[in-house]
Amino acid sequence: MPIRIPDALPAAEVLRQENIFVMPQSRASAQDIRPLKVILLNLMPKKIETENQILRLLSNTPLQVDVHLLRIDQRPSKNTPQKHIDRFYRDFDRLRNGNFDGLIITGAPLGLTAFEDVYYWQQMSEIVHWSTTHVTSTLFLCWAAQAALNVLYDMPQFTLDKKLSGVFSHQTVGGHNKLLRGFDDTFLAPLSRNAGFPLHAIKHYTDLDILATLKNDELYLAASRDLRQVFVTGHPEYDACTLANEYQRDVEAGVSPLLPDNYFPSDDPAQTPLSTWRSHGSLLYSNWINYCVYQITPYDLNSMQLSDHD
């Protein structure tokens, strides 16, 4: 899929070097088709790295996607040049009056923080509610999934006894759901979270279709029956070395982190890890874009008639 992004966005050159078709806005505007309009609300600290990862996965279909980068945290960034954020990211006020085909909300390192103590919790709640009437389908990743479950279903916050970090085997349980088309019965995916997603709570508080689980007691993938809200509790977008970088960051910070499970060869952090989940991540994003967005969204977004969550 040609990704339509600003010509000068750093991800453009990174993806071109990987032979991924990146279409500059100047060329895309000359094509007589309507690109899908997708917002990326990037809550991760290293925004450029996350941009590269998400855009790489969005490139796996023949559809043209016009990506809008959104920010809600106005504090100076410690991990991303402020010039980059000011140049490429928009505030919500510039988007709130429009309709969009898709919205992706990333994870954030907030698993040990109470929702009411999150600096931008009010804005986060507003955008989640807004998405139910202005977006065809929203993909919530990791912490964003936990946050959205609270906002949409009033599900309380669950915290694990220890951080779940590593690459884990998951199993599909969703039968013939469109999001699972092409999936094997079991697949690998990286997790990096303190948040808990117990299946008993998902079943008690929500009416979501449970599509994939971890060890039959933790949720990995779920969706509303109309596919307008999709919840992923891991990080299928991660590069091979992302977990290694997080582990080294915590070591240097004196946190004494546990070694990520099933990740480093021979459990030796001096060895280079391999990506064993790339095909799963690409397929998940491809299915979301195709079946949850493209096959459902109207050609004229101004004609969008979406009912609220409930």
Provide the annotated binding site for substrate: 163, 192, 249
Rounded to 5°, the CA angle 49-23-277 comes to 40
Count the Cβ atoms, other than its own, within 10 Å of residue 8: 11
Pick from 107, 265, 79: nearest CA to 191: 107
Per the annotation, the verdict on 292 as an active-site residue is no
Placement of tokens 């986060």 in the chain: 124
**Residues near 238 by Cβ (< 8 Å), separated by ≥ 6?**
53, 190, 192, 277, 281
Distance CA 171, CA 216 (A): 8
Single out the residue of 3, 246, 209 nearest to residue 102, CA to CA: 3
Whole-number Å distance between alpha carbons of 191 and 97? 35
- DSSP for residue 76: P
Per-residue CA distances from 71 to 46, 124, 230 (Å): 13, 10, 21
| Identified catalytic residue from 68, 134, 170, 235 | 235
**CA trace torsion 97, 102, 59, 282 (10° rounding):** 160
241 is catalytic: no
Kindly state the DSSP code that residue 232 receives in the 8-state scheme. E
Q: Tokens for 173?
A: 């349980």
Integer angstrom CA distances of residue 199 from 90, 156, 161, 162, 176: 36, 13, 17, 18, 20
The one catalytic residue among 49, 51, 134, 142:
142
CA-based nearest residue to 163, from 204, 200, 196: 196
Taking the C-alpha atoms of residue 65 and residue 62, their distance in angstroms, rounded to an integer, is 9
Q: Is 200 known to be catalytic?
A: no
The annotation places the binding site at: 163, 192, 249
Q: Active-site residues: which are they?
A: 142, 235, 237
